[in-house]
Structure 1
Amino acid sequence: MLAALVLGALAFIAGSIGGDGRAPAPVVLPAVPASAPPLNVGLVANSLGVRGNHRAAEQARVRTAGVRWIREELPWNMVEPWRGARRWQRTDELFVSAARRGLRVLPLLLGSPRWAAGDDLSLPANPDDFGAFAARAAARYGPGGSFWRAHPRLDARLAPVWFELWNEPYLEAFSVGGVDPARYGRMVRSALTAGRGANPRVRWLMAADLVYETPDGTRADWLDALMADDPGLLASVDGFAVHPYSFFAPGEEDDTSPPFRFARVGTIADELAARGASRQPLWITELGWSTCDRRPDCVDEHEQARRLALAFTQVRTTYARRVRALFVYHLRDFPNRAESDREAHYGLLRTNGSRKPAWSIVRAAAQAASR
């Protein structure tokens, strides 16, 4: 009953947030089915790059939104700038601050040191170097890890169980020098082998999508390319990280551009099942709509809230059996950026800290998911 009341409030918020005299169409969100699995609601906060009291304040804002998960980069190039280095101080500070605020961290392992690759967003030449880093991260921050033993006053139940292996390797922005599914697959395989040996309680998320762009500019199947090099890889991982960004509102999409529809969550699940990976959960580790002033790339603030409400509805109903988490991108807009900069305006908070209407949507969805 409480879940129904919270979702009813969410529907009211989504239907009454208009401030320009033109309220968006109401969003009717059904009660969470009693049989629906729990949903982890999180935010991408990037608080690692914020120091001291400012980081604490930023993480406190996450809790004010009712959210108990944050996705944070755990940069390999920061921890191991030269081979054999172990520089955990800043990431330790992140975990201390998050734990003191009751937040669970989803660590994103990302960023190659220059000794391992030509660019920090290039996939490393030797996948085993990445696997060794993943193992050290799991041994330190995973359940029972050395970090938690060294900080007995922190709640060790907040130790991350799930770790995400790289960000969007199917895009050249995060595979500088060329997208290489086989190399990424070898990185994942190495992380699974070394990571499970270092901490068997840790679970690993692999990046999944439908297509990637080949060097000649054509599109190819991402999952098939992974399996071509390692046929058992998809069935070996513990879960899949997906980023179903869309130019449309969930449930209101047309069929003109399937790769850029929220509905590809279901398509990815079906494609994975057809390849022997039917039981692993999907984690939506990024999703959002930008409120920049460029159209049609971005939406206004009211539409951002409405689309997030629709996304939560879809996840709790249509995709409830497969999706276990939804992390909204991003906590706040980036400062000192142009109004036309799409990447800078995904935030739930404006640069001055004031709340966009989407803040209330995420807060209500988090409250409903925790019941």
Structure 2
Amino acid sequence: MVGGLQPARAAERTPAVAAGSPIAGLAFPGITFEHQPAPVAESMLDRTAALGAGWVRFYAAFADMSPTRGSIEWSGLDRLVQAARSRGLKVLLALSTTPEWARPAGTDPDYGPVDKAGRATFRAFAVAVATRYQGRVAAYEIWNEPNLGGSWSPQPDPAAYLSLLSTTFAGIKSVDPAADVLSGGTGPSEPGEKAFEPLPWYRALYAGGLRSMIDGVAVHPWPHGEQVDVGEVPVSFEIRKVMDANGDAAKLIWGTETGVPTAGAYSISESAQAMVVVKLYDRWSAMPHHGPLFYYTLTDTPGSDREHHFGLLRADGSEKPAFGTLQGWLSSNR
């Protein structure tokens, strides 16, 4: 519980039989999905199921859900979890951010808990979430890209992250032993950013005892434009080797974000995107002991920046070639 409030369990709904591919999921951005009008969110989940994906990833953002100490707003997340399950989609929740009341003045929501009190507060939130969705959320990812200063501010710290991961893992497992708990997916750094690159980050985590704190490792295998064998995809294979060398050969490596934009900086054409998507899933399928790969994201949003154009659908809902190409690949590779 958080602030003394017991997290009442949300109403059950019988899920549809899972029909989607266990290797594929869709990742939805930030907190925006939770705030979509119900008909829009449900339409997006319908398209996800029609694609043939078996998973969805969205956020349980502590700062957004608990703007006031002692309360949690559950309605948006309840609606999404229930809607996903009713369509046979498994749910991965990314737990992240720190509310204003739980962090130092002048810091932002991506402030990473670095002291005992901050970790205890985040653990309490995670336990509340896992209690509420016990048996209905399949997996939890602890933070998003904690190796980057833009996601774990003011700067990434392997020891501090491990301390948070350790207590959060134990808390979630105490109320939902069957749920998978993953390390936070790692991303590549931007020039000038305070960051650890993903491979040295995971080497540092394993040296600090990561093996006892996770059920699986998450990475973000972004390609380099049209080149799948450049960028974070081959780095993911190296991280797989680090897992194996540290006694975690039996645990899965999950790709919780990947994708390529079709407008803005470093973008490619829509036809090239369709080819890259297939290459990504072919390459990921060759990974030993791999979990799902989550494509980011379903739908473009208005705007010229590349961040608005990773979708398999255009902003008006029409399909880019990549949607049908991935749909066909998933149908043929169950």
Q: Normalized against structure 2, the TM-score is what? A: 0.83
Structure-2 change in CA distance of 1:247 and 1:162 (3 Å):
same
* Aligned twin of 1:140: 132
Name the CA distance, whole Å, in 1 between partners of 2:225 and 2:192: 28
User: Is the Cα contact below 8 Å between 1:179 and 1:212 reproduced in 2?
Assistant: no
Name the CA distance, whole Å, in 2 between partners of 1:273 and 1:314: 19
Partner of residue 87 from structure 1, selected from 67, 73, 76: 73
* Aligned twin of 1:7: none
User: Is the Cα contact below 8 Å between 1:292 and 1:298 reproduced in 2?
Assistant: yes
1:97-141 Cα shifts (integer Å, max 9, x gaps): 222333222111122111222321111242222112111111111
Name the CA distance, whole Å, in 1 between partners of 2:65 and 2:171: 18
Quote the sequence identity (%): 29
Q: Which residue type is aligned with residue 192 of structure 1? A: F
Unaligned runs of 5+ in 2: 1-20
Partner of residue 225 from structure 1, selected from 204, 212, 215: 204
Range with bigger deviation, 216-225 or 166-175:
216-225
Name the CA distance, whole Å, in 1 between partners of 2:28 and 2:193: 35
Partner of residue 288 from structure 1, selected from 259, 276, 287: 259
Deviation at 1:96, TM superposition (A): 2.2
* Aligned twin of 1:186: 163
Deviation at 1:213, TM superposition (A): 9.0
Aligned: 1:315 with 2:284: yes
Could you say what secondary structure the match of 2:53 adopts? Answer: coil
Deviation at 1:235, TM superposition (A): 4.1
* Aligned twin of 2:34: 48
1:193-234 Cα shifts (integer Å, max 9, x gaps): 111112212210102559879999685621233345xx3223
User: Is the Cα contact below 8 Å between 1:250 and 1:261 reproduced in 2?
Assistant: no
* Aligned twin of 1:120: 109
Name the CA distance, whole Å, in 2 between partners of 1:89 and 1:308: 34
Q: Which residue type is aligned with residue 43 of structure 1? A: L
Structure-2 change in CA distance of 1:322 and 1:216 (3 Å):
same
Deviation at 1:84, TM superposition (A): 2.4
Within-5 A mapping of 1:197-212: 197-207=174-184, 209=186
Deviation at 1:241, TM superposition (A): 1.0
Could you say what secondary structure the match of 1:326 adopts? Answer: strand
Structure-2 change in CA distance of 1:211 and 1:314 (3 Å):
closer
Partner of residue 147 from structure 2, selected from 152, 164, 170: 170
Structure-2 change in CA distance of 1:81 and 1:251 (3 Å):
closer
Partner of residue 294 from structure 2, selected from 327, 336, 353: 327
Structure-2 change in CA distance of 1:206 and 1:89 (3 Å):
same
* Aligned twin of 1:5: none
Q: Which residue type is aligned with residue 221 of structure 2? A: P
Q: Which residue type is aligned with residue 134 of structure 1? A: A
Q: Which residue type is aligned with residue 172 of structure 1? A: G
User: Is the Cα contact below 8 Å between 1:39 and 1:326 reproduced in 2?
Assistant: no
Which protein is bigger by CA-based radius of gyration?
A: 1
1:44-70 Cα shifts (integer Å, max 9, x gaps): 235312112122122112122122321
Deviation at 1:250, TM superposition (A): 5.2
Name the CA distance, whole Å, in 2 between partners of 1:276 and 1:160: 27
Partner of residue 364 from structure 1, selected from 310, 323, 328: 328
* Aligned twin of 2:3: none
Could you say what secondary structure the match of 1:174 adopts? Answer: coil
Which of structures 1 and 2 has the larger relative contact order (alpha carbons within 8 angstroms, sep 6+)? Answer: 1
**Paired residue total:** 303
Q: Which residue type is aligned with residue 129 of structure 1? A: T
Could you say what secondary structure the match of 2:224 adopts? Answer: coil
* Aligned twin of 1:62: 48
Q: Normalized against structure 1, the TM-score is what? A: 0.75
User: Is the Cα contact below 8 Å between 2:144 and 2:186 reproduced in 1?
Assistant: no
Deviation at 1:324, TM superposition (A): 1.3
Deviation at 1:365, TM superposition (A): 2.9
User: Is the Cα contact below 8 Å between 1:235 and 1:277 reproduced in 2?
Assistant: no
Name the CA distance, whole Å, in 1 between partners of 2:188 and 2:301: 29
